[in-house]
Amino acid sequence: MTLRWKYSRYFLIVIVAALFAAPILGTNPLSKPGLQQTLAVAFVFGALALTYDLLFGFTGLLSFGHALFFASGLYLTCIFINHSVFVWWIAIIASILLTSLLAFLVGAASLRTTGITFAMVTLAFGEAGHVIVNRNFFGLTGGENGIALNAELIPQIWVGVVNTKYLYWSALICLILTYLIIWWVTESSAGRVFAALRDNEMRVQVLGLNTRNFKLLSFVIAGALAGLLGSIMLLLAGSAAPRFAESNITIALLLMVILGGAVTRWGAVVGGIAYSFLTTRMQDLTQNGLFAGLPKYVSGPLSEPAFLLGIVFILVVMFAPGGLSGAYYKLRLRSISKKYSSSK
């Protein structure tokens, strides 16, 4: 199996190299820790959106419980490190393994249903996870306030505002790692089966393949990667809080994938980064009185990021189902066919 290099590879390499070099190249916006932190979080969400694209875009599984595995990685890593069960890097590996097990169990139960029922069931499991971390069983999860990561037990290059650039690089590396894994998975023969399942499950069944096992495989891979990203998020946020387990996170992932465009990989990443970056920025802007001049009944909804996002989301679903990357490919296709017809 070979991974195809497309013509856009130089473009991509330049962007990634620029992102890597920016924090240490003289003075530019990215040499400030504030923007580094915002972008690092955006990278994690870009990668998380990509894992969701594997489920929703590539395999056709509309899951509303993906935040469960993100939160599981986050909380397990935090608990392992804080209670000195493992050294930080074993804690991350252990939490990924346990998250995979959780994804296996949840997936095995939910995949007994299909389609819309599957969506409802995964939502219920995701919400159960949110409730559990909120309740603080055995004093492990800290309830509504969450738990702060004990900064003395992780490498010191990840601690402190001065060292934000190391967090930024770690997040960027994780994004690239996730991208490569998803790329490899979706181009592998199992990835072909995933796509076939999305397009016509009955035909895959007729070919004699066990459809549920393949779906479960996709579910577990996406869950395991979400667990890894949860661990990175823990380093970025410095604490594990119930808001990471909310179903709103999964709905945000769905928005990122749809707005960026499913199945193209880069669409989900761009959607995730843009969504995360813009919502953070918008909160800053509204706090600084961006809509201060408008009457309350206009400025109120406008200052909630969900308002504009929801409207754009509805419009994209109704009129531009391919999202951003879909629109890009449509344009390219049009220009190619135009070139072809004019040369004739």
List residues near other proteins by CB under 8 A. Answer: 62, 109-110, 112-117, 119-121, 123-125, 127-128, 131-132, 135, 137, 247, 251, 254-255, 258, 296-297, 299-307, 309-311, 313-314, 317-318, 321
Coil, helix or strand for 239? strand
Cβ-based nearer residue to other proteins, 92 or 262: 262
Does residue 326 contact residue 270 with C-beta atoms inside 8 Å?
Answer: no
- Name which of 271, 226, 274 is nearest 54 in CA terms: 226
Distance between start and end Cα atoms, the chain:
36
Please say which residue, 314 or 333, places its beta carbon nearer to other proteins: 314
Q: How far is the CB of 118 from other proteins (least distance, A)?
A: 10
Q: Which of 119, 42, 58, 14 is nearest to 262 (CA)?
A: 58
Q: Min. distance of Cβ 124 from other proteins in angstroms? A: 5
Residue 199 Cβ, how far from other proteins at the closest point, in Å? 13
Q: What angle do CA 170, 173, 177 make, to 5 degrees?
A: 135
Considering the complex, state which of residue 116 and residue 161 has its C-beta at the smaller distance from other proteins. Answer: 116
The H or E element that residue 4 is part of is none
What's the closest the beta carbon of residue 113 comes to other proteins, in angstroms?
A: 5
Q: Which residue, 94 or 306, has its beta carbon nearer to other proteins?
A: 306
> Looking at this protein, which amino acid is placed at residue 116?
I
In the bound state with other proteins, the residue whose beta carbon lies nearer, of 41 and 257, is 257
Output the smallest distance, CB 202 to other proteins, in A.
12
Compute the distance between CA of residue 282 and CA of residue 306 in angstroms, rounded to an integer: 11
Q: Which is nearer to other proteins, 240 or 254 (CB)?
A: 254
Cα–Cα dist 46/175, whole Å: 7
CB-based contacts of 160: which residues, under 8 Å, 6+ apart?
A: none
DSSP state of 57: I
Q: Which two tokens stand for residue 196?
A: 């076939």
Nearest distance in Å: CB 126, other proteins? 9
